[in-house]
Chains A and B, each alone.
Chain A
Amino acid sequence: MYRYDEFDHTFMAERVAQFARQVARRMSGEMTEEQFRPLRLMNGLYLQLHAYMLRVNVPYGSLSSAQLRGLAEIARKYDRNYGHFTTRQNIQYNWIKLDEMPALLGDLAKIEMHGIQSSGNCIRNTTSDQYAGASADEIEDPRVYCEIIRQWSTLHPEFSYLPRKFKIAVTGAPKDRAAVALHDIGLRLYHNAEGKAGFEVLVGGGQGRTPVIAKTIRKWLEPEDMLSYLEAILRVYNLWGRRDNKYKARIKILVNATGIDEFRNQVDSEWDKIKDTKLQLDAQEIERIRAYFASPAYETLPDYSAELIAHGEQNTAFKEWLKSNTAAHKITGYLIVNLSLKSPKQPPGDITSEQMLATADLADHYNFGELRVNHRQNLTFTDVRQIDVYELWQKLAALDLATPNIGKVSDIIACPGLDYCALANARSIPIAERIQQRFEDIDRLHDVGELSLNISGCMNACGHHHVGNIGILGVEKKGQEYYQFTLGGSSTEDAALGDRTGPGFSTDEVVNAVDRILNTYIEQRDDIEETFLETYRRVGMAPFKEALYGAN
């Protein structure tokens, strides 16, 4: 993985010192809260309902065990002994004191981490595929380009006061685990007919109040041109994006209003002028960064999958976990293992300091000292020897990190909701907990099969409800919380926005409504192989509507 060199360290030390001075000016009253607000936001510090919340970037989801230990220590020292992983590969701390922030940022800098641009109208943390470098279906490692983008976007002088926030995601596999079509810019790495790697560039995707699937602006972009092309898009957006209404300020609105063809012309005209500048990457620089992401020292191992399956015949819990929580590795004898942060005992994405420390030890022992954070708020060990998998499962189960529900109905994405967030209209976490409790039964969970259920506590859609196969949106009506359902959303390579079912349901009715939707799916599916999304796409809304609201 990437390691800071002397220049990165110098930059971080200067950033920490600068913020310490800014905090001192705020604490002394020299600066008002209004003046301080943009400065703290640029460092990831939000003022929430009860306290300051700090959002720390995990660049493209990649963490070392030492970093995870550092994050655990920060949770212990400055927070209430836990952290929350978000859908954008960040970790959030919910109970931060302002006067402790400089020391906290210093501690973060020691583990090569920060909260820069995790908030504000700037380029946010670049996200990627959690299986990068390991998955059997990968074409090119997206982390190389994520790191180049990370450096380029950090304190970008021209693009730190954009009309609105800006999110970039990169994927290097045909199976899209990074939801690139739901980002302001999505980059898809693939090989052209000559076998050379390059990007398909998507622009103008996003969720929030106006969900839009991104459009292809360029079918082919040479990797060497990546930064100049990104800079051209960002400049057109900075110049022409709306600044009069924050709900119409994202690039998706500009792209839709301009039309993708005209927008492409504007970008190309800007790109022509800056293509042959220092922004141009050369193969040497790309290879220099690539070297940081060299594969770990894989051993030559036999395929052990038959033995794992045999283990499963003895132990149903292991069998179910193996089926849902692991994925194929590109190297024989290895497996990708997902750690579920969706136990019914904890809010989705939450993890205690103790779990972090124990996970760091397991990463050292079983996964070359690294791990990933993924956009579904779980953790991933990308390089586990198959021969170790049974033992690892036992240890994860003891830490309550082996709920066998990855990609299943109880693997819920949820925003913090009204329990923490100042913007929320309704609670998300208690709804997630009740759904998880209802579907604790493993047989039911696996009978329902592959399904994403996403919950947002307001229309800003941090819980990605638009792209959940089942989406739940919390709204407030006459002082009561109501939950509206959408069906058929997807954030993967077949990205789609869900369709609204009809009127919302009260807090007491939500779980039963989910149950009715799932029963309808089971009745309607051709066979157990047909997923919820496939069935929905085949049969449409009618039978689900009938199940939810009765025939009329």
Chain B
Amino acid sequence: MALIKDGVEAKDSFVNACHLDTLPASGDIIVSLDQWNDHRDALLARDAQLGVTLKSDQHPDSIADDLQHFALVALEFPAFTDGRAYSYARILRDQYSFAKELRAVGDVLLEQLLYMNRVGINAFDIVGDNDLEQWKVAAADYTVWYQPTNDGRTSIRDLRRG
């Protein structure tokens, strides 16, 4: 298990508490949307960073008014073929201006890193560490992009204009 954030291996200060019955008293945790809804006051009273996980059928509209409380939003890919969270990432970045960490968790494949990166996902939970080096370089597979997104990269259309 490793975390790649902004293109480098990073230390993960968060504990995934989604499946815990009792929430840890201290430390940074990631909770499920249900936990957030059920224990909102208790979670806000904690003196640590908070993250929330959106399952692939949980639209970001459900946390739109709460985003200021989260240091990260984890987007779950139950299978690599389930692409809903690509749209969630764009909605969070472009429409809700969420500027903190967007983390991909679940069935996240090396070949999808660039797609995810381009929609605004900047952190990746990697299962197994065999190809960690490849993960670091995968972002360099392409240097040019046709689509304008809000990831800071210049699209080909803008490059052509010089």
Rounded to whole angstroms, the CA-CA distance of A162 and B84 in the bound complex is 8
What secondary structure prevails in chain B residues at the interface with A? helix
| Contact digits for B71-113, partner A, Cβ 8 Å, 1 yes 0 no | 0000000001111101100100011000000000000010110
Q: Report whether B148 and A7 are in contact in the complex, using a CB–CB cutoff of 8 Å.
A: no
Instruction: Assess whether B54 is interfacial by the CB under 8 Å rule.
Output: no
Instruction: Enumerate chain B residues within 8 angstroms of A121, measured Cβ to Cβ.
Output: 81, 83
Q: Which of chain B's residues has its CB closest to A15's CB? A: B142
Q: Which of chain A's residues has its CB closest to B116's CB? A: A157
Q: Report whether A158 and B114 are in contact in the complex, using a CB–CB cutoff of 8 Å.
A: no
Rounded to whole angstroms, the CA-CA distance of A155 and B149 in the bound complex is 13
Q: Report whether A151 and B146 are in contact in the complex, using a CB–CB cutoff of 8 Å.
A: yes
Q: Report whether A243 and B142 are in contact in the complex, using a CB–CB cutoff of 8 Å.
A: no
Number of A-B contacts (CB under 8 A): 93
Q: Report whether B111 and A162 are in contact in the complex, using a CB–CB cutoff of 8 Å.
A: no
A244 to chain B, nearest CB (A): 10
Which of A7, A11, A18, A277: most chain B CB closer than 10 A? A7
Instruction: Assess whether A274 is interfacial by the CB under 8 Å rule.
Output: yes
B21-59 with Cβ < 8 A to chain A: 59
Instruction: Assess whether B20 is interfacial by the CB under 8 Å rule.
Output: no
**Contact with A35, one of B109, B141, B156 (Cβ below 8 angstroms):** B109
Instruction: Assess whether B68 is interfacial by the CB under 8 Å rule.
Output: no
Rounded to whole angstroms, the CA-CA distance of A55 and B59 in the bound complex is 36
Give the interface size bracket for B toward A.
Answer: 35 or more
A160 to chain B, nearest CB (A): 6
Instruction: Assess whether B115 is interfacial by the CB under 8 Å rule.
Output: yes
**Contact with B83, one of A35, A161, A273 (Cβ below 8 angstroms):** A161
Q: Which of chain B's residues has its CB closest to A162's CB? A: B83
Q: Report whether B147 and A285 are in contact in the complex, using a CB–CB cutoff of 8 Å.
A: no
| Contact digits for A1-40, partner B, Cβ 8 Å, 1 yes 0 no | 0000101101100110110001000000000000100110
A149-192 with Cβ < 8 A to chain B: 151-152, 154-162
Q: Which of chain B's residues has its CB closest to A14's CB? A: B142
B152 to chain A, nearest CB (A): 12
Instruction: Enumerate chain B residues within 8 angstroms of A8, measured Cβ to Cβ.
Output: 156
Q: Report whether B83 and A238 are in contact in the complex, using a CB–CB cutoff of 8 Å.
A: yes
Given contacts A10-B143, A14-B144, contact A235 B111 (CB under 8 A): no
Q: Report whether A18 and B141 are in contact in the complex, using a CB–CB cutoff of 8 Å.
A: yes
**Contact with B82, one of A38, A161, A279 (Cβ below 8 angstroms):** A161
Instruction: Assess whether A278 is interfacial by the CB under 8 Å rule.
Output: yes
What secondary structure prevails in chain A residues at the interface with B? helix
**Contact with A7, one of B81, B117, B144 (Cβ below 8 angstroms):** B144
Instruction: Assess whether A257 is interfacial by the CB under 8 Å rule.
Output: no
Instruction: Assess whether B119 is interfacial by the CB under 8 Å rule.
Output: yes
Instruction: Enumerate chain A residues within 8 angstroms of B116, measured Cβ to Cβ.
Output: 157
B106 to chain A, nearest CB (A): 13
A236-253 with Cβ < 8 A to chain B: 238-239, 243
Instruction: Assess whether B155 is interfacial by the CB under 8 Å rule.
Output: yes
Instruction: Enumerate chain A residues within 8 angstroms of B144, measured Cβ to Cβ.
Output: 7, 10-11, 14
**Contact with A158, one of B90, B109, B142, B159 (Cβ below 8 angstroms):** B90
Instruction: Assess whether B157 is interfacial by the CB under 8 Å rule.
Output: yes
Q: Which of chain A's residues has its CB closest to B118's CB? A: A157
Rounded to whole angstroms, the CA-CA distance of A453 and B115 in the bound complex is 42
Given contacts A38-B80, A154-B146, A155-B146, contact A160 B155 (CB under 8 A): no
A335 to chain B, nearest CB (A): 37
Q: Report whether B111 and A157 are in contact in the complex, using a CB–CB cutoff of 8 Å.
A: no
Rounded to whole angstroms, the CA-CA distance of A541 and B92 in the bound complex is 55
B135-162 with Cβ < 8 A to chain A: 141-149, 155-160
Q: Report whether B147 and A161 are in contact in the complex, using a CB–CB cutoff of 8 Å.
A: no
Task: Give the 9 A-B CB pairs with smallest separation, nearest first.
Answer: A161-B83, A278-B148, A157-B118, A157-B115, A7-B156, A158-B86, A151-B146, A18-B141, A238-B87
Q: A155-B142, A161-B115 are in contact. List 8 more A-B contacts (CB 8 A).
A: A8-B156, A18-B142, A151-B156, A157-B114, A157-B118, A157-B119, A239-B59, A277-B148
Q: Measuring CB to CB, which residues of chain A are less than 8 angstroms from any residue of chain B?
A: 5, 7-8, 10-11, 14-15, 17-18, 22, 35, 38-39, 121, 151-152, 154-162, 235, 238-239, 243, 273-274, 277-279, 285, 288
9 contacts between A and B (CB under 8 A): A11-B144, A38-B111, A155-B142, A155-B147, A158-B87, A159-B83, A161-B81, A235-B87, A274-B94
